[in-house]
C-alpha cells in the first residue's frame, strides 16, 4: 500500500518551499530597488556614498536638518515603488489581471499554504503562516484597487 499521506505532506512542503523562495526573491528585488533609490537620492543631495550605513544615515540626517526642502526630497525614496505591482507578484499572476483572477489565485494559495496542513509548532507551519499573511496583505491591496465596492462596509457599525 502506498504512503499517500506522506506523499501529500512532501508535496505540500515542496510547494511551501517554492512559495517561500518566490516571496524571498520579491523581497530581495524590492530591497534592491529601495537601495538604488536611496543611492540616487544620496548623489542628488551631494552626500557621500560610504559603505558604512551609519555614516550614510548620519549624513542624510545632517542634510535634512539643514533645509526643509532636503527633507521633502529624501522622504519619497522611503515609499515602496508600487504596492499594486508587488501584490501581483506575490500572488503570482500577471499585472493588470481582473479581480476574479485575483480571487481564484488567492483561494488556491490559501488552500496550498494552509498552516493546518503541517504539524503544530513545526517550522513549516510558521513559514506557512508568514506566507499566508503576505498573500492576505497582497489580496487586500488588490481588492482595494480593483473592487470599487470593497470598502463600502468598512465604516458600518453594528
In a domain, 68, yes or no: no
In a domain, 98, yes or no: yes
In a domain, 96, yes or no: yes
In a domain, 10, yes or no: yes
| Number of structural domains found in the chain | 1
Residue 105 has pLDDT above 80, yes or no: yes
Burial class from Cβ neighbours inside 10 Å (0-12, 13-18, 19+) for residue 143 reads middle
In a domain, 11, yes or no: yes
In a domain, 58, yes or no: no
Burial 114-136 (b: 16+ CB within 10 A, else e): ebebbeeeeebbebbeebbebbe
Q: What mean pLDDT is predicted for residues 14-40?
A: 82
**Would you place residue 106 in the very low, low, confident or very high pLDDT band (cuts 50, 70, 90)?**
very high
Q: How far apart are CA 117 and CA 153, in angstroms?
A: 32
pTM metric for this prediction: 0.57
Residue 128's domain spans which residues? 4-37+80-146
CB 142 within 8 A of CB 101: no
In a domain, 29, yes or no: yes
Instruction: Specify the pLDDT at position 63.
Output: 64
Amino acid at each position: 500500500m502506498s504512503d499517500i499521506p506522506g506523499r501529500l505532506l512532501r508535496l505540500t512542503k515542496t510547494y511551501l518551499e517554492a512559495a517561500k523562495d518566490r516571496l524571498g526573491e520579491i523581497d530581495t528585488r524590492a530591497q534592491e530597488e529601495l537601495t538604488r533609490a536611496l543611492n540616487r537620492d544620496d548623489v542628488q543631495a551631494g552626500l557621500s556614498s560610504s559603505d558604512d550605513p551609519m555614516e550614510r544615515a548620519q549624513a542624510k540626517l545632517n542634510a535634512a536638518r539643514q533645509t526643509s526642502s532636503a527633507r521633502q526630497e529624501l522622504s519619497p525614496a522611503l515609499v515602496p515603488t508600487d504596492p499594486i505591482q508587488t501584490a501581483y507578484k506575490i500572488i503570482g499572476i500577471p499585472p493588470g489581471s481582473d479581480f476574479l483572477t485575483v480571487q481564484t489565485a488567492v483561494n488556491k494559495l490559501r488552500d496550498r499554504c494552509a498552516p493546518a496542513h503541517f504539524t503544530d509548532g513545526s517550522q513549516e507551519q510558521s513559514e506557512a503562516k508568514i506566507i499566508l499573511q503576505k498573500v492576505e496583505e497582497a489580496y487586500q491591496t488588490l481588492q482595494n484597487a480593483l473592487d470599487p465596492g470593497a470598502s463600502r462596509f468598512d465604516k458600518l457599525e453594528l
